[in-house]
């Protein structure tokens, strides 16, 4: 992969990753997830089991799983409201592709392309979640 001239091949993931993480637990309801996504205005949440990264859920996953009528009291039927009772573990991407904070952003971009993902949880060797890097983070870096 050719590196654009304005990008340092030595730039590291920890330099551009987001440390402002949004997390959910495996058994959180989609009602909880929907509120979190709506209130915080982000696109990816890391799903944890205790402190271990177990999955990723995106705003698109939520949109696909929750009835569009669930938030409308005039149109919602019981089955629409029932979609809010599903659990995050039912819709998340399991075994997410991760990256270490000391890897290069070029490696992160290549991993996203190879694995067809739009975000990578950033995980220390100890397994500790320290951040997230998204396509948007990479795009910002390439445009600077």
Asked if residue 5 is part of any domain, the answer here is no
Asked if residue 105 is part of any domain, the answer here is yes
Asked if residue 57 is part of any domain, the answer here is yes
Q: Which of 77-81, 87-91, 99-103, 111-115 has the lowest mean pLDDT?
A: 77-81
The total number of structural domains in the chain stands at 1
Distance of alpha carbon 98 from alpha carbon 54, whole angstroms: 11
Distance of alpha carbon 72 from alpha carbon 66, whole angstroms: 12
Asked if residue 65 is part of any domain, the answer here is yes
Question: What is the tens place of the pLDDT at every residue in 115-143?
Answer: 999 999 999 998 899 999 999 999 888 77
Query: Is the pLDDT at 144 greater than 80, yes or no?
Result: no
CATH for 71: 3.10.580.10
* Mean model confidence pLDDT for the chain: 87
Question: What is the tens place of the pLDDT at every residue in 21-38?
Answer: 999 999 999 999 999 998
- Tell me, what DSSP letter sits at residue 104? B
Asked if residue 7 is part of any domain, the answer here is no
Query: Is the pLDDT at 5 greater than 70, yes or no?
Result: no
DSSP 15-40: HH-B----EEETT-BHHHHHHHHHHH
Question: What is the tens place of the pLDDT at every residue in 64-84?
Answer: 988 777 777 777 677 777 788
pTM of the model: 0.84
Asked if residue 85 is part of any domain, the answer here is yes
Range of the domain at 47: 13-143
């Amino acid at each position: 992969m050719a590196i654009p001239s304005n990008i340092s091949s030595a730039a590291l993931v920890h330099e551009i990753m987001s440390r402002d993480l949004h997390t959910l637990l495996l058994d959180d309801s989609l009602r909880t997830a929907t509120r979190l996504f709506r209130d915080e205005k982000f696109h990816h949440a890391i799903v944890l089991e205790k402190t271990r990264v177990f999955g990723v859920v995106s705003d698109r996953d939520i949109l696909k799983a929750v009835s569009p009528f669930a938030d409308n009291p005039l149109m919602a039927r019981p089955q629409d409201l029932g979609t809010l009772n599903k659990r995050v573990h039912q819709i998340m991407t399991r075994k997410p592709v991760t990256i270490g904070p000391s890897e290069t952003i070029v490696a992160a971009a290549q991993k996203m392309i190879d694995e067809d993902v739009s975000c990578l949880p950033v995980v220390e060797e100890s397994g500790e979640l320290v951040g997230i890097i998204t396509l948007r983070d990479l795009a910002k870096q390439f445009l600077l």
